[in-house]
Chains A and B, each alone.
Chain A
Amino acid sequence: MKEEVVLIKKLKNPKLKNEAFRDLLDLYQERLYWHIRKIVITHDNANDVMQETFIRIFKGINNFEEKSSLHTWMYRIAYNESLRFLERNKIKTSVSIEQDNNSYIKNLTQDSFFNGNELQLKLNEIISNLSNKQQRVFQMKYFDDLSFHEISDLLKISENTLKSAYYSAVKTIEEKILAEC
């Protein structure tokens, strides 16, 4: 927490901003990439959205009011940027933001950076069949390792509702995986 405060001060200092931004990339680039990748699915799209996200972070850091943690603030930007990308993509390809199972799997398997086995593909398929809220909560909690408090801050949903959605998602996934085995 103390490190984050120091980093924010450096980022808001014009003389130290560039150096601090390098540190920020070292700390969060990979985490934000995977957060984005699970929303936009393909590597190329995730790379584009991640670059846009960091440009927005760099431009907007002086407007960061520190009401939430830097970590949460950046995730929110990444999440919004991903949704904006899907919105643009929806206009071009007429695919719903809440992608249906077929389009999710189709996009995933067409990506040259996906080489999952049958079980991995099945897990992707099960996750894509969850409700939108369950999908987001499960991915943020299980893969991105965010706390319920951070997810609540990010999605503006109460922690109890999130917990309920998460455990419900875990139960569904377990049942479907066991049924396959």
Chain B
Amino acid sequence: MKKSNQHKKDISRLHKDKLGMNIPEDFFSKSKEDILNKVLKQDKPKQSIFWLRTTIAYPIAASIILLFAITIWMKNNNQKINNQITNTEYFNTMNPDFFDSDFLISSLMVPDKDIDNYLDYYLINKVVIEAELSEQQLENIFINSLFVEDSLVDDYLNKNLIENIVI
């Protein structure tokens, strides 16, 4: 080390004497500390945050996803069960009051115009069908009566004719 220090003195003096180049006082010891600080700062292993370590982060992420999936699955499953109960209850509790109340509540939501249209359509159909039916019934009665009357007339004529002939 002595030899090295001697060399240091020589080289700095040589540059000062021959080239006129100087350095600040105590420059090399200060510079050495600067370099060591920089180097050791860069050499420090980066402290990773506990939660960001891959060995911990991945299992945590997987657990969260699993919990999330289970929650959604359970929610959907409960909805199906509820729907089934509702349908069963619906059929079990089917009664006029239920329908009436339901119908009334639903009808409140339907515009008046639609109800009028529906009623018009319904009434017209009903009137036309009933009219047609009644007309057909009258025709049948008439035809039947004709047949009946004809047969009666025939019977009557045959009877009377036979009686007349016999008599």
Contacts and interface: CB of A to CB of B under 8 A. Distances in A.
A58 interface: yes
A108 to B, nearest CB: 8
Given A26-B1, A30-B12, A113-B24, A55 B32 contact: no
Contacts, number: 85
Contact of B21 (A50, A58, A114): A114
Given A31-B11, A33-B28, A120 B35 contact: no
Interface string A22-66: 100111011101100110000100010011001100110000000
Interface stretch (B39-47, B73-81, B93-101, B108-116): B39-47
Contact of B20 (A34, A47, A120): A120
B14 interface: yes
B11 A51 contact: no
Contacts of A29: 28, 31-32, 35
Interface string A90-130: 00000000000000000000000111110011011000000
Interface in B1-16: 1, 4, 7-8, 11-12, 14-15
A51 B35 contact: yes
A129 to B, nearest CB: 15
A55 B35 contact: yes
A145 interface: yes
Where chain B touches its partner, the secondary structure class is: helix
A145 B32 contact: no
Contact of A123 (B19, B22, B31, B35): B19
A124 B7 CA distance: 23
Size bin of chain A's contact surface: 20 to 34
B53 interface: no
B19 A124 contact: yes
B49 interface: no
Given A120-B18, A121-B20, A145-B11, A55 B28 contact: no
Interface string B129-156: 0000000000000000000000000000
B36 A25 contact: yes
A85 interface: no
Nearest to A59: B42
Pairs A-B, 6 closest by C-beta atoms: A116-B20, A120-B20, A113-B22, A58-B39, A30-B8, A54-B35
Interface of A: 17-18, 21-22, 25-27, 29-31, 33-34, 37-38, 43, 47, 50-51, 54-55, 58-59, 113-117, 120-121, 123-124, 143-145
Given A18-B36, A47-B31, 5 more contacts: A18-B40, A29-B28, A30-B12, A43-B22, A120-B19
10 contacts: A25-B35, A30-B11, A51-B35, A51-B38, A55-B42, A116-B19, A123-B19, A124-B19, A143-B18, A143-B19
Interface of B: 1, 4, 7-8, 11-12, 14-15, 18-24, 27-28, 31-32, 34-36, 38-40, 42-43
